[in-house]
Structure 1
Amino acid sequence: MVAGKARQIIIDDTDPDIQYKGRWCWGSADTCPFKHYSPSYNNTLHQINNHGSISYTFNGTSISVIGAIADTDMSMGGNPSSKALKCSIDRTPIPIKTRNNNWVLCEQHGISDGKHKLRVHFNSTGAFDSILYTPSPGLSFETANVLVYNSDPGINFSLNWTYPNMSMSRLTRVSNSTATLNFTGTAVSWFGSNRGSVMQDANALYTIDGGPPTSFKLHYHHTNFSHELFTTPNFQPGSHTLVVTFEGNGSTVPLSLDYLVVANTSTPSTEPAMQKPPTVPEKHRPPVGAIVGGVVGGLFFVTAFVLFVFWWHRRRERSRESREITENGPPPSYTARAPVVSSYPAHPFSHSDPHRLSSASSFGRPSLALSGYTPDTVAQTRALRKCQEVGLHPVRPPSLPYPEDKENIGGDDVVRTKSPTQSQAEIGGG
């Protein structure tokens, strides 16, 4: 490839950011057969038999589309006709290039720095392999697959590496020639083009970070351009050193380099410092702990409030009951009580003692029980105390005689029992 090209990001046809329209066949170069001169990148390919398109948004200053097209215009040297393929950047057409797979279909350099949209329209049978673009200054290569061309200043070649006959491949035919690359990533792949006259296979080896060497074979390829010579196993992300050593000679297949692909790389040491591309802000999820704590706290306060209301209501009821007892006294007892009978005759209304009534009234309610009155006659008893005339019949035990008077006849006391009529007459007249 052209010397002096800056590192580029390679986007495979399987990238989810590529938008497809039309009926595409997706798979490997075997499941989607198409005439091509080189194997597809990552052995994946999208093929269309008629109308279809792709689109991709990027931030960069140049872009290239890799693939193949069947409908060619021989007047243009076998390149795709303008009817078969159309490419544009932000709806502005860009030049069409070639028809061979793993070669550039269309490309544009010198794009103004910023965000752009690539569109490619296929109007005949064609295949799409990958996209290469130069990222905007300040953007990072982190998480991307990056093409490092053989002209990159980050590659340290020993003597005897040349570009024969203006070839885009850099190669060596001298034994023990080396190439060293310091990079940051998780894996690296080496691509070369071993074409020309038939030669004997050669051996080569590579090491990572001074570890044990790994051997690989160099074979002659009649037609293939830029095929993969080896890919390292994945290793921990970070800075690593790759050293490749040629063990052949002038009679064997040479060791050639078109470019390397560094996987999952960050900012290379030979490029200006770059930052991560803008990403969609991450949505903040509500803190689960705060939500659970709020719910539990809310339930606690609701429960405490309900208990307080219940306690306050009970206390209020008890206070009201205590106040009613204080104001009205204890509730009356309805237990029947037997009349109290004195062991000696009572004479509250004796004619010989007209003041008995007034003196008896000074004892209060106990005198009512002794005289045979029940609680139902309280009103009448009060009237008697005021010396009011009422028709009241005292309740007496049936065994007690009515009051009797004594008369002194001839020096002896004679007891004379009064009839009920006489007793009532005395009460009325007294």
Structure 2
Amino acid sequence: MSNQRRIVVDDTDSDIRYTGSWVLDQTGDLNKGGNFGPVYRNSVHSANTSDASFSYSFNGTSIDIWGSNNIANNSGVITPSWACYIDNIKLPDQAPFQFFENNWVLCSQDKLVDGPHELTVNVSTTGQHFYFDYIEYLPSSTVSLSSKTLNVDHLDPAIQYGAGWQDLGSTANMTSVAGTELTFEFIGTSLSWLGFIPTELPHNASNATFSVDGGSPATFRLPGLTSDSSNTIYNQVFFTTPNLTMGKHTLKVVHLGSRAQTPLTLTNMFLINGTFPSTPSNTQITQASSSSITPNQSVNSDSHKTTIGAIIGVVLGGLALLLIIGGVLVWMRRQRNHREARTRPRLEVDEMGYHSLPAPPVPFVVDAQPQGEFTQRTFSGPVSTATRSTSVYPDSSDPSRERPAIREKRGHLVTSSVTSTSTDLVSSTTSRPSRVVHHEDSGLRIPGPEPVEEVPPSYTES
């Protein structure tokens, strides 16, 4: 994360193991190249042979390797080239960039298992110099910070921005208001402030001051840019504090410039012998004022409060339980009424009256319905069902009837034909008048069968 403090390891650190032909360059000649600022602590290690490599052991969860981008394209061959490995696993290659720049990420890995790891970088070149500057990694919580340098991001929670400061994109904070203050509490022995000079804002130089632990303010210059400059200059060290005794200190910075001058910006700070903040200082913590209560009185008061709290908790818990039980009973009653309403036979009556008709034992047929009209259905079964003598789909001239009620009625009819016997059908069929049929003799007679006399066969002597 951008607001987490990372350990910075310079190329001169004795824990870095170099193999092959390396040269320590502290001339500062590279500081003038590009617009990404000078090299870190004015030193780099360079190599121009293919037998060069270095390795570094660390405990952490992410790592970046920084150097100076110094690419040449020799007939389509990019040189120098390099390969970075974490625990013998190759990291993704960075896309080549044709211009020289310091403070360039050579390779990175931000998703490592928390624990010990081994970094290895192998260099391949045909004469073009490869430049290695420093390493940054996010350490494990068990790593000692003694004699370490930390990179403190501008979003660090310990930084207190006063009125007049504002975000400058996602890379920095800035102010152009005279008198604007910033405070930063830290533990360490030295601190360096870094920012950049934006070409989009006024180029005129301005000043600001810093002080440590309420000491006399020291003025530092914000150089700005030339009037014809079109490039933003990054990674500028605006000031470095004197060496301090190891312990807690407070930095205060005040901007003295105006809106017509170059702003004061902050991207990050390098903190030597720093620590991780245990509690963000920008979190407001209000403490109760002391009183004359003795320790014994405090204990008795706490005990009394605990008893009252327990009683209130029991009462509220009982009320909540009663409400829950009541709600469940109401819900169960509504569910039972709902089920009874669904299973209870319903009769629908219209202006033409209700009729009970016998249903012939033929299969149930579903026909396609023209809109606004209901075609008579027949239902199979030994009993008849209730049906209506008129159309039950509404005509366009009768908007008071709604289609959802019809769908409900159709479902009810299907259920009734299977599960219930129509008592109305019995009363209706028994109340009809009987029909008398008188049969007459036509005079025709069906003749009976003719008598047959059976005689045994005749036999002759042989």
The whole-number CA distance in structure 2 between the counterparts of 1:199 and 1:235 is 33
Deviation at 1:32, TM superposition (A): 6.7
Structure 2 residue 40 is matched with structure 1 residue 22: no
Deviation at 1:161, TM superposition (A): 2.1
Would you say the 8 A contact 1:8–1:134 is kept in 2? yes
Deviation at 1:23, TM superposition (A): 1.8
Evaluate the alpha carbon distance shift between residue 33 and residue 43 of structure 1 in structure 2; reply closer, same or farther with a 3 A threshold: closer
Q: Structure 1: which amino acid aligns with 2:42? A: N
Partner-residue secondary structure (3-state), 1:101: strand
The whole-number CA distance in structure 1 between the counterparts of 2:4 and 2:199 is 28
Number of residues paired by the alignment? Answer: 263
The whole-number CA distance in structure 1 between the counterparts of 2:63 and 2:94 is 13
Q: Structure 2: which amino acid aligns with 1:43? A: N
Q: What is aligned with 1:102?
A: 103
Deviation at 1:95, TM superposition (A): 2.5
Partner-residue secondary structure (3-state), 2:234: coil
Q: Please show how residues 80-99 of structure 1 align to structure 2 within 5 Å.
A: 84-97=81-94
Structure 2 residue 60 is matched with structure 1 residue 60: yes
TM-score by length of 2: 0.53
Q: What is aligned with 1:291?
A: none
Evaluate the alpha carbon distance shift between residue 69 and residue 203 of structure 1 in structure 2; reply closer, same or farther with a 3 A threshold: closer
Structure 2 residue 12 is matched with structure 1 residue 8: no
Q: What is aligned with 1:182?
A: 185
Q: What is aligned with 1:210?
A: 214
Q: What is aligned with 1:142?
A: 146
Evaluate the alpha carbon distance shift between residue 229 and residue 108 of structure 1 in structure 2; reply closer, same or farther with a 3 A threshold: same
Would you say the 8 A contact 2:71–2:79 is kept in 1? no
Q: Structure 1: which amino acid aligns with 2:60? A: G
Q: Please show how residues 7-406 of structure 1 align to structure 2 within 5 Å.
A: 7-30=5-28, 35-37=33-35, 38-51=37-50, 52-71=52-71, 84-97=81-94, 100-124=101-125, 125-164=129-168, 166-197=169-200, 199-221=203-225, 222=231, 224-270=233-279
Q: Structure 1: which amino acid aligns with 2:179? A: N
Would you say the 8 A contact 2:63–2:136 is kept in 1? yes
Deviation at 1:96, TM superposition (A): 3.3
Partner-residue secondary structure (3-state), 2:22: strand
Deviation at 1:171, TM superposition (A): 1.1
Would you say the 8 A contact 2:79–2:124 is kept in 1? no
Would you say the 8 A contact 1:32–1:45 is kept in 2? no
Deviation at 1:81, TM superposition (A): 6.0
Evaluate the alpha carbon distance shift between residue 188 and residue 252 of structure 1 in structure 2; reply closer, same or farther with a 3 A threshold: same
Would you say the 8 A contact 2:30–2:102 is kept in 1? no
The whole-number CA distance in structure 1 between the counterparts of 2:9 and 2:24 is 16
Q: Structure 1: which amino acid aligns with 2:22? A: W
The whole-number CA distance in structure 1 between the counterparts of 2:31 and 2:104 is 17
Deviation at 1:113, TM superposition (A): 0.7
1:265-291 deviations in whole A, cap 9, x for unaligned?
Answer: 2443348xxxxxxxxxxxxxxxxxxxx
Deviation at 1:211, TM superposition (A): 1.0
Deviation at 1:140, TM superposition (A): 3.3
The whole-number CA distance in structure 2 between the counterparts of 1:223 and 1:29 is 24
The whole-number CA distance in structure 2 between the counterparts of 1:95 and 1:159 is 43
Partner-residue secondary structure (3-state), 1:269: coil
The whole-number CA distance in structure 2 between the counterparts of 1:232 and 1:133 is 24
Comparing 20-29 with 141-150, greater Cα deviation is found at: 20-29
Partner-residue secondary structure (3-state), 1:42: helix
Q: Percent identity?
A: 35
Deviation at 1:126, TM superposition (A): 1.5
The whole-number CA distance in structure 2 between the counterparts of 1:35 and 1:242 is 32
Would you say the 8 A contact 2:188–2:275 is kept in 1? yes
The whole-number CA distance in structure 1 between the counterparts of 2:23 and 2:112 is 31
TM-score by length of 1: 0.57
Evaluate the alpha carbon distance shift between residue 188 and residue 21 of structure 1 in structure 2; reply closer, same or farther with a 3 A threshold: same
The whole-number CA distance in structure 1 between the counterparts of 2:210 and 2:69 is 37
1:165-197 deviations in whole A, cap 9, x for unaligned?
Answer: x35122111111122111001111001111305
1:270-322 deviations in whole A, cap 9, x for unaligned?
Answer: 48xxxxxxxxxxxxxxxxxxxxxxxxxxxxxxxxxxxxxxxxxxxxxxxxxxx
Comparing 228-237 with 195-204, greater Cα deviation is found at: 195-204
Question: What root-mean-square deviation, in Å, do the aligned CA atoms of Structure 1 and Structure 2 show?
Answer: 2.5
Evaluate the alpha carbon distance shift between residue 202 and residue 35 of structure 1 in structure 2; reply closer, same or farther with a 3 A threshold: closer
**Over 4 Å off, 4+ runs:** 31-36, 80-83
Deviation at 1:14, TM superposition (A): 0.4
1:82-113 deviations in whole A, cap 9, x for unaligned?
Answer: 97121111111112346532121111112001
Would you say the 8 A contact 1:148–1:262 is kept in 2? yes
Comparing 49-58 with 143-152, greater Cα deviation is found at: 49-58
The whole-number CA distance in structure 2 between the counterparts of 1:34 and 1:243 is 31
Evaluate the alpha carbon distance shift between residue 266 and residue 153 of structure 1 in structure 2; reply closer, same or farther with a 3 A threshold: closer
Q: Structure 1: which amino acid aligns with 2:83? A: K
Unmatched 5+ stretches in structure 1: 75-79, 272-430
Would you say the 8 A contact 1:172–1:256 is kept in 2? yes
Evaluate the alpha carbon distance shift between residue 53 and residue 36 of structure 1 in structure 2; reply closer, same or farther with a 3 A threshold: farther
Comparing 204-213 with 193-202, greater Cα deviation is found at: 193-202
